[in-house]
Every structure is written in C-alpha cells, then in structure tokens.
Structure 1
C-alpha cells in the first residue's frame, strides 16, 4: 500500500528545517546525494531526487539488503518455520551437520543476524571464489559452493560471544531461510511483505549458483526503502494487516549487547540487533556509500536515503542536526500559517529542481585509443568516440573482452543507454565533452547504483599513442567491472 503524501506543516514539521537539511547535504564536499524521502505517521512529507536519479529507478542498497533478509527470516519465525535458536547449518542442503566442527554446529540463526558467529573479522573473502568446492567429508555435491568455502573455516571464538560485522553471517542465514521455505528470499517476501507495502519489484544480485547474496545486492526504489522503514516504525503493521509480529520488530531493533570493536563513528557504536544498527536516534538499515532505512520511533518518522559518499556519518549528522529540531517546531511556537505555507512551497520548489550538473559540453571531433589505465576492470581495452551531430553529443564505444559496448554521451545533459553483455543488462547515463587540450572526458553513471565511472582520453603526443583512463569515484564492493554491478539479466 503506497504511502500517501502530506505537506510538512500539516505533519507539524517546519519545512525550513528540511530546506536546511538539503543545504547541508549539498554543501558537504564528500557527499553526493541521489535521493531521500521522509515520512511522518505514515505520510510522506518530503521526497527529492537529484536528476538523473529518479523516483522510479531502483538503486543498489548494499547492506540494507541485510534488513530485507532479516525481514524474510522474521516471516518464517512468525510462521513457526524457523527460530532464532535453530542451528543455522542444520537444514542446509548438502551439509552433513554431524560432521561439522563443534562451533559450526553451535552457530544459530540469531547469532548470524546479530553478527555473532564467533569470527573475529570479515570472513567473506574465504567464499569469494566459486570455482571450486572445499574437499571435506562434511560436503557433498548438493552444497552451494559458497557455503562449502565458508564452512571450511571454523570461527575463532565461541558463537554468540564476539561481534564482527561479517557478510558470511548473513549469507548463511539467507541460505537457511531459502532451505526452510523452499524458495528464494524474494519469494518469501513477495506475498507477505512486498505486496502489502506496494513494492512492485525487489531485484537481487545472485551468485553463480543462483543464490541471492543476502548480505548485499538488493535493488529497490527509495519509496520502497521508506516503506520498509515505515513497516518497522508501525510495529509490523500495514493498514489493518499485521505483516510482521511486534515481537519480531522488537527483536530486530534490540541491540545484542556485544561491543563493536571498530565502530568508525558514533552511530556505529550504539549496538546491533537482528540486521539493524542502533543509532543515537532510533535504529536503521544501513548500506555502504550512504544507503539508509532509518526508523525514528520517538518522532514517528521514517527516512530513506540513497547516495554516493565515503562519509556516511555526515549524512546521519545532517539528519540529526536539521530534521529532528524541525519536528513539532510548528506546534511549539505561535502559529503562523502564512509562514508555514511559504516554507512548504519553497521546499517543494527546491525539491523539484534537484539535479547533478553534467560536465561542460566542450566540443570534440572524435578519436580512438587503445591504451588504458585506472581502477576499472582492465578488460576494457579500447575506446573510441564519434560525434552524433553538431551539438548532439557523442557515441562512446568501449571494447570489453573483445565485445564492443556503446553508450550515448550527452552534451550538457545526461543521455541514457543500456549495455547488454554476458546475459546482464546495465542501465547507464552519461555526459561529457572535450577537455580543451584535445582530449575527451565523460562521466558514466551506473544510475541504478551509487557508482560513477570517469573516462578521460588524452591526445596522442607527436610520434606516440594517446591513452584513456577509466576510474571510479568510489570503487564498488562487488568488483571493478561496471557490468557486474547490475542485477538485471537479459
């Protein structure tokens, strides 16, 4: 059920505070916002998208995926099909549970959701290569190869005693949920959660064996993330329907009491529940580079954000500094309906005009290059640019493993394209132009992810060869190849 909209002043929120929030986010040099949405008491009071990002585009959520996975587990717990005390490896296909080392037998569903498997550091690198299966008597041909590699390494500590933020934990609990339900995570969520919330599609990256990552890789619209936060704010209810039990919501948001040894910021030092972080205010689903699903029970507020930033704490700081003081300001002061209406109007106008400016469209006559550098996958070996028409932008072709991938590059505007290769579809937008020194530069935005690729091609010196550079603004966590960031399959 999509959330209705209401003006900030009608929800007793001062729109001037929300304008200050937008100002602060845009002014921070380390933050590039893609979207945000704020609801109070189940009604959306503000929603903004920095073009070319848009309301109907899904966005890679990184570890907010853990909160979707935990919600799927909550469905099974509420139905009596799974319990937090269940050994997470007990029902995994292909696992000889009795042959597992003692600590793996002891790791429970709850331990995984609370990042308390007993590991002392991130363990996912052990399972990063699907090319082989560890040879141990506990394994057979029915086992997910990622699970095989995980179980080949016993945790260092007793389960339940040590916090370590760890992708392995969520991958295992996702595998257990699929095994119990006999379907995918999305299959578990679709009828019970997604349809009541009005979420039309939840894309998810999968491993080579077809398993959802669970800990990462989900894609959803900003409104869908807001709906997830609102579901937990409403104690699991959607309208008159109890989608999740209040007991599950309480379990999810309650920190385990284990200490995060490496918080990195004050809002990562408040504790961790069942795949939700506690915050200085409320609690949240939390994904790399600024993806948040924030629940603020004291204020009856839900917030969703998408972004590309290495300073996630700064987004939370801005919300605490500007949004929270604006709540109930309208009822705490003498009424001024005209001022409230003016602030609402100013905010609406500002949100309607949000955009990320494309690079300047300096002229460029075309060129080609065959030498590359940068932190994007080195399989991109050649590039060529040709003008489409005077003032009409350019066609950029990159050669990847012998296959040409072409996209439009707008001149002073974002142009949309889609790459298709290896059974994957990748939506893109790009803009660029000449560099004034005979070279060419373009921003290539993977518009359903937080990530941006920068191309810069240099002119050939006398008697030499020009080259091109492909680099990320912030390298993605799913590997260096742009195509591999997508969860859309041809």
Structure 2
C-alpha cells in the first residue's frame, strides 16, 4: 500500500502502469451497461492513482450526488476523531448525554445502550427507528428515539437503523458544540479537498447522520483512499489506525442466523457504519447504489454513484471483472494500445440516452398551452400545462411548491432548475418524446440524485391522464397510478 501525497485532485495514471489491464475495466463497464444496472459514475483507484473514471452523461464530474446511507461512514469517521480527541468513548451510555430527553422509567436495555452499539447497528431495536423519529410532531428526534422500546440486549442483535446514526450525530454535537458537518469540515473535508459538501439536518438543526450528505464521486474515492492508507493523508494522521481497524472489522453478525452465505455481500458482518464484503473487502454504501468499496489486498478503491435497483449486481461486477485482474503484488502489466484506446472511447461515450420514439405529434398545436386542473392526488399537484416549441417543450407544474417550470429537449437533454423533488430545488436534465400520437413522455433526470422520473401524459379531447413512473423510489406516493386532469 502506498501513502500517496495528494493535493486537491487525486493523481491520474494509466491502468497498466498500476497493474490492471484496460480490458478488465472495459469488461466491467460492458457488464454494467448490458445488465442495465443504472450507474451514474465510476472511478477506480489503484496504488493511490485514478486509473479509470467516467460519468454517464448528463451526469458530470463536478456535480455533487446524494450519498444516502454512504453518509453513515462519514458519521462513523467523525466519532473516531472525537474518540481520539477525548470528547467521548465508545462505552459512554447513550442516555447519559440527554438526561432531559430520557424517559422517566429507563429500561435495562436502554440503560445498557452505548455509542459502540449505535455504531454497529446493535442498539437492541427490532426495526429501523428513523421513520418514527422523523414523524415526531415536536421535532425532538432525540427524545423520540429514547422513548422507543428496546426489545433486545444491545450488542446482540443487528438491525439496520438510520436512527442510530442520527443519534451519533446528536451526541457529537452535544460534546463538541458543532454540527457534524461543521466538525468534519476542518478535520476531514478540507484535508481531502472535499469542497462545499452539504448535509441535511433535522428540525432542531442536528445533522442527519444516517443520510443526507452530498459530495462528488472523486470525494468518495478520496475518502476510500484515506481508509486504505490507514487514516494517513499527506503525512497527517487524520484517523487513527486503531479506528480504521475497528470501524472496518466485523463488530456484529448480520447473517440473520444463517452463517456462511457466500453469495451475498449483505451477510458478511457489519463494522462501525461499514459493511464487510466477500474477498476481505469492506464498503460504505447508500440506497440505489452509492458505493465506496475498499479492497486492501488489491490496494484499490472503487467509487460509484448510481440509480440502481440491484446493488448486489453492481458488487458482483466488481468481483467478477475488476478484482481478479489485480494481482496482490505491485506489478506493471504489458501495455495493450488497442485495449487502452477501446477503454478511453468507452469512458468518453458513457451516457444515459434520452428516450426517442416519435419526435412530434399532430396534437402538439392543439394541446400546446392548454391548462389542465388536476384532481386531488397524493403528489399534491394542482395544474399542468405544456407549451411546444420547435426544439423545446416548456412544462409548467403548479403544486405545493408553487409554480415550477421545466424545459425539455425534443429527444435531447435540456437543463433546468426547479423545486419538484422532495420540496428541494434540483438541477434537472429533461427531454420529451411521443410514444403514440396522444401519449407524451416527459423524462426528468435529477442529476444530483439517483432519480429519474418519466411522466406519461395521455391527451383526450378535454382531459388528460397523468402517470408518474420513477426508475427507483423511496416513497409509495411516487407510484401514483393515474391522475386525471380537466381542461380549464
């Protein structure tokens, strides 16, 4: 393993110079596309250098991407730093930090719960606490967490629990006087060259911890390289070797009582907000395929963002195509000009194609600019209108976020910014096409998130039927069947 000196950008190298054939990377990329696994970006580091990187257009290198639960590994790192600074210890009891929010009758299991149990997802809860605490009416998520029953002895039962990660953030803020985001800024983000990270917070201003971090693909790669280098970055020990070892080792079994499943990377054990994998690999990961995969024996890191329904399929691709191509010793493999050229072309042409079925419809002149009042629906949309121009359509949606406008290219991506997804302003690349003479397809790619939405609009004489189809979804309301609208 090399402790590489790194500035604001990771060094670049040819794959063969770092002991991996270009053909192996091409094979991986081909498998990802053939299986339609929904990757948005990919970066491979070997011996501290980026040997391959690509973004599926319209995703771009400089755009931050939603990390979802990959955020947890950053929260874990903050706790490791706080331990090194003497702000807390892993044996500290959770209730000791919040005496005013603890229940009057503290159960024996709640009394036993300590910081290490939060880290290993072994709190003793039998279901994720996050939905419950987010729905707490007074916005006091800490109190809501502490009021929940703890059915099992802490440390004995694995239950994936984003509420536990939130509590780590709350404890850190309690002992440091800083939010998790503020705490990590000088200690982790600035040293790694992570610029302008954003991280959501609860109603009381505590960083979410379990999700909500937004950073770039290269930021993910740098974070993985830090762990690969045992916490050392440019001759500074940002995280102790002891913390790296503990966080990435198996702290609790997560096999559900069925040990020995060699085909799943979800049952190899869990560390401190890191997953153990097959092949002596560990990872941080987030919903829909946000990955920081660290391969110590290969001295390699794989960073991936995606909008995927098959996270195991993505990992299988890493094991099947990339891992076998990397020998454990440092070696240079013979340069293959044809394979290198193929890989470069492949990486430069990665894209998510905008749907192109029928470029136009005779209906366009008739329906252009019509305003449709939508019947009551769970998406809380009130009105819809589409104006068609020669190369662009302008979609206007009226809903809980007010009037929002999105430009859509005719069979090509066009950039907009609108407040549509999760009541947050997002950068959107959008296109439109016609599936039939009366069925309009509007495709909205939220390029700082895993999400792509297809809105089907079927036009009738004086009404429309609207259907929203997400590629991946976290909410049942996204799967709305049909919304009817009437011409105003």
TM-score, length basis structure 1 = 0.88
State the partner residue of 1:429.
Answer: 429
Deviations 1:114-172 (A, max 9, x none): 0000112222222121323xxxxxxxxxxx61112111112101111111111121111
What are the equivalent positions in structure 2 for 1:369-380 lying under 5 Å apart? 369-371=372-374, 377-380=378-381
State the partner residue of 1:486.
Answer: none
State the partner residue of 1:449.
Answer: 449
Name the CA shift for 1:402/1:230 in 2 (closer, same or farther; >3 Å): closer
Range moving further from structure 2, 468-477 or 74-83? 468-477
Partner SS, residue 23 of structure 1:
helix
CA displacement at 1:98 relative to structure 2 = 7.8
State the partner residue of 1:109.
Answer: 115
State the partner residue of 2:72.
Answer: 66
TM-score, length basis structure 2 = 0.89
State the partner residue of 2:175.
Answer: 180
1:291 aligns with 2:290: yes
CA displacement at 1:399 relative to structure 2 = 1.2
Distance 1:316 1:382 in 2: 42
Distance 2:45 2:158 in 1: 32
**Structure 2 unaligned regions, length at least 5:** 1-6, 480-488
Distance 2:169 2:473 in 1: 26
CA displacement at 1:436 relative to structure 2 = 2.5
Instruction: Report the count of equivalent residues.
Output: 461
8 Å CA contact retained: 1:21, 1:319 = yes
Distance 2:302 2:86 in 1: 31
1:24 aligns with 2:31: yes
CA displacement at 1:97 relative to structure 2 = 8.1
State the partner residue of 1:344.
Answer: 340
Name the CA shift for 1:331/1:378 in 2 (closer, same or farther; >3 Å): closer
1:385 aligns with 2:383: no
Distance 1:255 1:326 in 2: 26
State the partner residue of 1:487.
Answer: none
Distance 2:205 2:375 in 1: 33
1:362 aligns with 2:359: yes
Partner SS, residue 81 of structure 2:
helix
What are the equivalent positions in structure 2 for 1:16-415 lying under 5 Å apart? 16-29=23-36, 31-92=37-98, 94-96=100-102, 100-132=106-138, 145-261=140-256, 266-281=264-279, 282-328=281-327, 336-337=334-335, 339=336, 341-360=337-356, 362-364=359-361, 365=364, 366=368, 367-371=370-374, 377-387=378-388, 389-390=389-390, 392-401=391-400, 403-415=402-414
**Structure 1 unaligned regions, length at least 5:** 133-143, 482-490
CA displacement at 1:296 relative to structure 2 = 0.3
Partner SS, residue 267 of structure 1:
coil
Distance 1:417 1:93 in 2: 48
